[in-house]
Amino acid sequence: MTPSTELLTTDEDLSECYRRVRQHSVAICRSLQPEDYVVQPVIDVSPPKWHLGHITWFWETFVLVPNQPGYRVFHDDFSFVFNSYYETVGKRVLRGERGNMTRPTIEEVYRYRAYVDEHMVRFLQNTDLTPELKALIDLGLNHEQQHQELLITDIKYILGHNPLFPTVQIPFDVPEPKSYLSRTPHLPEGVYTIGYRGDDFHFDNELGVHKVYLADYTLQPALVTNAEYLEFMEAGGYRQFRHWLSDGWAWVNANKIEAPLYWHRVEGEWWNYTVDGLKPVAPDEPVCHVSYYEADAFARWRGQRLPTEAEWEAAADQFDWGQRWEWTASAYLPYPGFTTAEGAVGEYNGKFMINQMVLRGASVATPAGHSRPTYRNFFQPDKRWQFTGIRLAK
């Protein structure tokens, strides 16, 4: 599967696209109970109520307030409550405190959403957008799609750490066996062009088209499966330090890690929490919810390695991708010539280019139209609550 990269569909104007994207955020949360909206089990996971408020705050703060004459903010305190990391915009609730906010209520957040949507649709229908403003709208739509994926992963984490393992209906594609290309992706030694070269939406971290020399290499056409990963586990992979980076080995021991996230050993068998509840681990599905440390250790155990992000991108048209975000061996760093935009928008990517690893592709939780071969996702090497998987290289 190679996902679509188009956000605006045929014969759809921008206001309709805005409505569609905004409705999908609500659809993800439709089957939640009120208590589900406010839980924050760990600092990385934000309550669904906060996500819904934050993506609404983005539209109000960056589009309506500076560009709609006479616009009045819905609530004076919501910028403090729903700002995420934008130092330019002002003070905010600390990330780890989001789960302590019983107020505003869910009902207030949905009223906030309705208020901002009414003004945004009117704004989009009655405003001649400058190229700069159009770019800001595109960023807002893609920002919301990023939070839609975070909503899914955070909801799964919240419910997956509930001892009752509740089910929930979420609109995303269930992984299915894929028919991979029969030929193993192989690229000869040479110089390859990396970076975004089109005219559609892209993030600033994809810019800086540049040449990269790559030695001869081969990629595994299919992602590593649960059955393959289970072989690593049964061979003592989590107990043998020689497979692990130093930081990874410390992480395994400090956190007593022995399996991917959401795996549970029940009466000698491995089970996996899904949004449909606890189910036996499906051997043919791509392994999911593994950290960079685990991906790297598995690759070493198999006598192979993880691809660099340049290797992944150069070969992306030779294999199916899109079921799992795929860890690469590349640190998240700027491309040559990268520049940070002025103002709050400049805080979007650049300041996070430290202590993180790049993931490529997309996952079953990624919204339609929100992926492309040059997309650079990034997380710290211990993170695994996203739909992360493994592709091997040699």
Contact status, residue 209 vs residue 357, Cβ threshold 8 Å: no
Give this prediction's pTM.
Answer: 0.93
Give domain limits for the chain.
14-160, 186-389
Q: What's the mean pLDDT in 204-232? A: 97
CATH code of the domain made up of 186-389: 3.90.1580.10
The predicted structure's pLDDT at residue 91: 78
pLDDT of 23 over the 80 cut: yes
Q: Tell me: the pLDDT tens digits for 253-312? A: 999 999 999 999 999 999 999 999 999 999 999 999 999 999 999 999 999 999 999 999
Alpha carbon 125 to chain centroid distance? 30
Q: Tell me: the pLDDT tens digits for 96-126? A: 888 888 899 999 999 999 999 999 999 999 9
pLDDT of 148 over the 60 cut: yes
Burial group, residue 361, by CB count within 10 angstroms (0-12, 13-18, 19+)? buried
From residue 10, give the alpha-carbon distance in Å to each of 123, 257, 389: 21, 47, 33
The predicted structure's pLDDT at residue 100: 87
Fold that domain 14-160 belongs to in CATH: Four Helix Bundle (Hemerythrin (Met), subunit A) (1.20.120)
Phi/psi region, residue 246 (left: phi>0; alpha: psi -120 to 50; beta: rest), is alpha
Fold match between 14-160 and 186-389?
no
Q: What's the mean pLDDT in 326-340? A: 94
In this prediction, residue 205 has a pLDDT band, given cuts at 50, 70 and 90, of very high
The predicted structure's pLDDT at residue 146: 96
pLDDT of 2 over the 60 cut: no
Closest listed residue to residue 310, CA positions, set 209, 172, 181: 209
Token pair belonging to 78:
């919501």
